[in-house]
Amino acid sequence: MSDRTAPKSQLRLEWVYGYRGHQCRNNLYFTSSKEVVYFVAGVGVVYNVKGNSQRFFLGHNDDIISLALHPEKQLVATGQVGKDPYICVWDAKNCQTVSILKDGHQRGIASLAFNNAGTHLASVGLEDYHLICIWDWKKGRLLASAKGHSDRIFDLHFNPNVDNQLVCCGVKHIKFWKWQGNSLNPQKGIFGKGGEIQTMLCLAFGTNGTTYAGTLSGDIYKWEKNSLTGTVQGHEGAVFTIYKSEDGFASGSKDGSVILWDGDFKPITKIDLLNSVIGYKGLSVRSVCWVADKILVGTNNSEIYEVLASNKESPRTLVQGHAEGELWALAVHPKKAMFATGSDDQSIRLWSLSDRTLLARVDLEQKIRSLAFHPDGSQLAAGLSDGSFMVLKARDLSEVLHTKDRSEVIHELKYSPDGAYLAVGSNDNFVDIYATSQRYKKVGECKGSSSFITHLDWSDDSKYIQTNSGAAERLFYKIPAGKRVTNKEEIKAISWSTWTGVLGTEVNGIWEKYTDTNDINATDTSFPNNTLVSGDDFGLVKLFRFPCIKKGMGMFCIAMTRPAPSPDVLHQHIIF
């Protein structure tokens, strides 16, 4: 009789790599306890730099795209995308929800802002008309709303110097709103002869009532009331972010630089990250936060740097992750505490599990869709989007060879347990077998699948593989020739080295009633612990007792870590 008790293993989110810099801005701050708050995918992160530890807010069910910090710097508001997007206000100290604001927006919440007293919260949606809402966030009540603009709004703030005034800016517009009761009444910004009409990306306010707006050209526009009165020449690229600090302003740009300004917007110093020791082509600053001597910088490629104003030549790397694009590939080193990831950003990265740092990186010319370590840990195979695969030295990710026998993406590859063969599954519906001792000469071909290969596993003796396909087929092959195996007694006698497939009587229980065959993307099994883990399209990671023959058998817990398409959270693979 099958064991229906829950597995002894548990799930606990320990670390999240990366930072959401692409398509977001102004989303990185110091809290009152001098910790760093930001988000990745659907997870709000509070990072204790000194202790190198993270806490997580898991109250969202889709990707977060906006964040605001309460004036007292302990409460955080985050907004997400989705069919029914909502806003969470939560405490950075314990990561507990304080308030949830629903039914205000469609598609997503693009921008958030607390008023100066911290009593109200403003939001901008991703609707065609970009709705602006004002909330009594403590009571969860919508107080006022108005259609913001037909073009995209990039930033929104309460004016701390003018009672009940909000300012928003975006594609070739800026608006000054008066909030009265349940109504919001706008005044358009008058450009006049002060400067050309252009897109504005971010806002800040001076103590003298001036509104500053960072522009697409790199200049900073000065507004008095609703009239453009002057231009400050700043950056050589678009100004994505402006932060008001006690000592002045900090601005960050597409040109890879941060400029510190005094309270009258006169330049103090320029920090050129692009040409610093951590610089690279295309570095773009998406968020900046300046407190005392420390400046936080968030980039488009998912990095967070800390720069000291007194020593701007030595930026410190706090967080790294993959850049924009889906992250498909994951492999754990068989002997050392490290793992590798590959992404649509065309990079393969090697990470340390012990100190959570980036150990090595290589940039390729194709998107990476699968990874596998050789059993002895010496080599790393990578399946690419053009149908080719590469073999790299695991030590430094230098190239050993590059082979192309297929024309469609390589979604799955695995070494045999004895290291003699590499099985490469493609969207051409084939699995090719390569002999590692013959410099990866092709020695076999597995035919018969009617759809693309999604998963494959080797037997303990390296003589068989099983495959799953996009047509929900589970097939078996004798290796190395690739002869199809159909004899039930022969199949039943096979002992599997790994189990990452989603099909078969052994895993029938992972499928809910009416589930589509594409809903569960990945599994992996820890045989010593009789435990299987699954990851699905709904952002859920589930533990089951293995084998899981009946639905819901032994399921212990669900972790809502949102592995949806994102550069920073696992999309295709789960590995113990």
Number of H helices, E strands in the chain: 1, 48
- pLDDT, residue 558, reads 44
- Residue recorded with tokens 């930026």: 315
Is the pLDDT assigned to residue 557 strictly greater than 50?
A: no
Is the pLDDT assigned to residue 46 strictly greater than 60?
A: yes
- pLDDT, residue 495, reads 97
pLDDT, tens digit, 9 for 90 and up, residues 460-473:
999 999 999 999 99
Number of Cβ within 10 Å of residue 328's Cβ equals 24
End-to-end CA distance of the chain: 26
- pLDDT, residue 550, reads 73
Evaluated on CA atoms 31, 36, 159, 131, the torsion sign reads negative
Evaluated on CA atoms 327, 94, 300, 305, the torsion sign reads negative
Please work out, in degrees rounded to the nearest 5, the angle formed at the alpha carbon of residue 117 by the alpha carbons of 115 and 119: 75
Higher-pLDDT residue of 402 and 547 is 402
Task: Kindly indicate the confidence band of residue 574, based on its pLDDT and cuts at 50, 70 and 90.
Answer: low
Is the pLDDT assigned to residue 565 strictly greater than 80?
A: no
pLDDT, tens digit, 9 for 90 and up, residues 69-97:
999 999 999 999 999 999 999 999 999 99
- pLDDT, residue 482, reads 96
Q: Mean pLDDT over residues 524-549, rounded? A: 90
Render 247-313 in DSSP notation, one character per residue. TEEEEEETTSEEEEE-TTS-EEEEEESTTSTT--TT--EEEEEEETTEEEEEETTS-EEEEETTEEE
Is the pLDDT assigned to residue 572 strictly greater than 50?
A: no
- pLDDT, residue 1, reads 47
Of 574, 489, 552, which Cα lies nearest the Cα of 2? Answer: 552
Is the pLDDT assigned to residue 185 strictly greater than 70?
A: yes
Task: Kindly indicate the confidence band of residue 7, based on its pLDDT and cuts at 50, 70 and 90.
Answer: confident
Contact 448, 425 (CB under 8 A): no
Give the list of residues 6+ apart from residue 207 with CB closer than 8 angstroms, or none: 161, 263
pLDDT, tens digit, 9 for 90 and up, residues 476-516:
999 999 999 999 999 999 999 999 999 999 999 999 887 78
Q: Mean pLDDT over residues 413-421, rounded? A: 98
Is the pLDDT assigned to residue 575 strictly greater than 80?
A: no
Average pLDDT of the residues of the chain:
93
Task: Kindly indicate the confidence band of residue 518, based on its pLDDT and cuts at 50, 70 and 90.
Answer: confident
pLDDT, tens digit, 9 for 90 and up, residues 249-268:
999 999 999 999 999 999 99
- pLDDT, residue 569, reads 36
Of 323, 318, 321, which Cα lies nearest the Cα of 345? Answer: 323
**Residue 536 — φ and ψ, nearest 5°?**
-130, 180
Is the pLDDT assigned to residue 106 strictly greater than 50?
A: yes
Task: Kindly indicate the confidence band of residue 2, based on its pLDDT and cuts at 50, 70 and 90.
Answer: low
Is the pLDDT assigned to residue 576 strictly greater than 60?
A: no
Q: Mean pLDDT over residues 422-436, rounded? A: 97
Q: Is 528 helix (H, G, I), strand (E, B) or coil?
A: helix
Q: Which domains does the chain have, with CATH numbers?
A: 327-501 (2.130.10.10), 502-575 (no CATH)
Distance CA 250, CA 247 (A): 9
pLDDT, tens digit, 9 for 90 and up, residues 282-323:
999 999 999 999 999 999 999 999 999 988 888 999 999 999
- Strand pairing category for 558-560 and 540-545: antiparallel
Q: Mean pLDDT over residues 404-408, rounded? A: 97
- pLDDT, residue 96, reads 97
| Cα-trace Rg, the chain | 26
